[in-house]
Amino acid sequence: MKKNILLGVTGSIAAYKAADIANTLTKEGHSIHVIMTKSGMEFITPLTFQTLTKNKVHTDMFGDYIPSEVEHISLAQKADIAVIAPATANFIAKAAAGIADDMLTTVILALKNKPVIVCPAMNTAMYENKVTQRNIHILKELGFQFVEPREAMLACGVVGRGALAETDLILQAVRNQIT
């Protein structure tokens, strides 16, 4: 069954893997609506996602104004599920605190009773930081699901936990929620 899936892409070197996630879910017949943060666009372009999904990529709260709809509310209402891959420590902190200062965090805050899957990707020290772990705990208590990062050689050259989970695991988590 075709689902409307929001894919949030934040500022991590792992952002390129989100293109594979978008492409696979699109080929499976789902409608993928990508929301990119400003820092996410530093790693991969919206054009990549527009080409793969055949949908507009949402990047700015105050971009194209459509008088007949409030875009962040409309996106949240149409969504069946949201996936944030990669999810930075910054996104996780904002979501845990209820901060809505960009399109992605605003849409996530506007979701009501819909699954949100968070896929962290960051440096090991950032991931293991007590503040990040507290924020993850808060989100889990609120019902957010996590696909935990894996241990690998990170972009900074350190081997540790913080690499984005394998795309197959992320895709399986999505499929488990939409079937």
156 tagged catalytic: yes
Ranges of H-type helices in 54-150: 71-78, 89-97, 103-110, 124-128, 130-141
Given phi > 0 = left and psi -120 to 50 = alpha, else beta, which region is 98?
Answer: left
Q: What spatial distance separates the first Cα and last Cα of the chain, rounded to whole Å? A: 8
Write down the catalytic residue from 156, 166, 172, 176.
156
What is the rounded distance in angstroms from the CA atom of residue 164 to the CA atom of residue 120?
Answer: 6
Residues designated as active site = 156
